[in-house]
């Protein structure tokens, strides 16, 4: 193998006094089906499901829920609900429909602070919570939505681990809204000195060249069109409010909680 090829496979950064170390990697998975749990060991992962799981879950945590459990399956959701002794609120969707016996659907406006404050919440969705479940082997696991995307970018900028942005997608297909959220995050990061995979480069270029407003992008997405057709376009304005929240949310021991380990405040 040539010297050139070795440098391609093992890119390095030169530091002061001749120190050399490998470049940090930043990868994007476009669908939950791409998740390789073993590859996540030692990395920081961020799960994105803009419509609607990570947006709603972020809303629930921000609203003051006591504990939030994103379920990877119906079986797990039922087990959590039955094992919790406190008043439990259940919500989510299955294949786009409401779940029999659950208290709420998947929409963030169903989980106001007056409803979730101090309560345990079990939440299950077709794509987002399953992606979270598969990504649990990551050393640190966060969720992201457009509302906190700038804060996520600031946090990731300071990370020393490899990073995986995981778009949940929908039914095995790429979703426009998740891709856009990943692009928003990357557009707010200085990626000099990072090794990006092909998907990350594509997402970054999408963010750099896209001139439409976020709300218009959401309306063009397959799931977004459903909201427009069912007179819920107002919800897209909430979902697409980039930077509305500074709160970071991490998954720890299977539960969602605010992440307060370091400041993420600052200009977008």
Q: What is the pLDDT of residue 184?
A: 98
Secondary structure string (H, E, C) spanning the chain? CCHHHHHHHCCEEECHHHCEEECEEEEEECCHHHCCHHHHCCCEEEEECCCCHHHHHHHHHHCCECEEEEECCHHHHHHHHHHCCCCEEEEECECCECCCCCCCCCCHHHCCHHHHECCEEEEECCCHHHHHHHCCCCCEEEEECHHHHHHHHHHHHCCCCCEEEEECCECCECCHHHHHHHHHHHHCCCCCCEEECHHHHHHHHHHHHCCCCHHHHHHHCHHHHHHHHCCCHHHHHHHCCCCCCCCCEEEECCEEEECCCCCCCCCC
Residue 23: predicted pLDDT:
84
For residue 21, what pLDDT is reported? Answer: 56
**Positions in the chain whose pLDDT score sits under 50:** 1-18, 20, 261-268
Model confidence pLDDT, tens digit, residues 78-134:
999 999 977 899 999 999 999 999 999 999 999 999 999 999 999 999 999 999 999
How high is the pLDDT of residue 22?
Answer: 73
Q: Does domain 23-257 have CATH number 3.90.1560.10?
A: yes
pTM for the whole thing? 0.90
């Amino acid at each position: 193998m040539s010297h050139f090829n070795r440098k391609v496979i093992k890119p390095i950064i030169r530091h002061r006094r001749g120190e050399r170390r490998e470049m940090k990697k930043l990868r994007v998975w476009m669908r939950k089906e791409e998740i390789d749990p073993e590859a996540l060991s030692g990395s920081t992962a961020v799960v994105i499901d803009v419509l609607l799981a990570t947006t709603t879950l972020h809303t629930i945590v921000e609203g003051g829920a006591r504990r939030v459990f994103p379920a990877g399956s119906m079986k797990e959701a039922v087990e959590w609900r039955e094992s919790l002794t406190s008043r439990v609120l259940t919500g989510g969707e299955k294949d786009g429909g409401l779940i029999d016996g659950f208290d709420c659907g998947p929409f963030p406006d169903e989980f106001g602070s007056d409803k979730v404050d101090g309560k345990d919440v079990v939440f299950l969705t077709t794509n987002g919570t399953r992606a979270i479940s598969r990504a649990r082997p990551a050393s640190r696991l966060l969720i992201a939505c457009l509302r906190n995307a700038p804060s996520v970018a600031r946090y990731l900028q300071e990370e020393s681990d490899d990073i995986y942005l995981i778009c949940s997608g929908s039914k095995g297909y790429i979703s426009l809204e998740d891709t856009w959220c990943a692009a928003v995050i990357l557009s707010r990061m200085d990626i000099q000195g990072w090794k990006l995979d092909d998907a990350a480069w594509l997402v970054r270029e999408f963010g750099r060249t896209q001139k439409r407003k976020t709300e218009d992008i959401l309306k063009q997405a397959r799931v977004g069109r459903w909201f427009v057709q069912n007179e819920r376009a107002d919800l897209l304005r909430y979902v697409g409010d980039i930077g509305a929240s500074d709160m970071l949310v991490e998954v720890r021991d299977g539960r969602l909680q605010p992440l307060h380990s370091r400041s993420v405040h600052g200009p977008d």
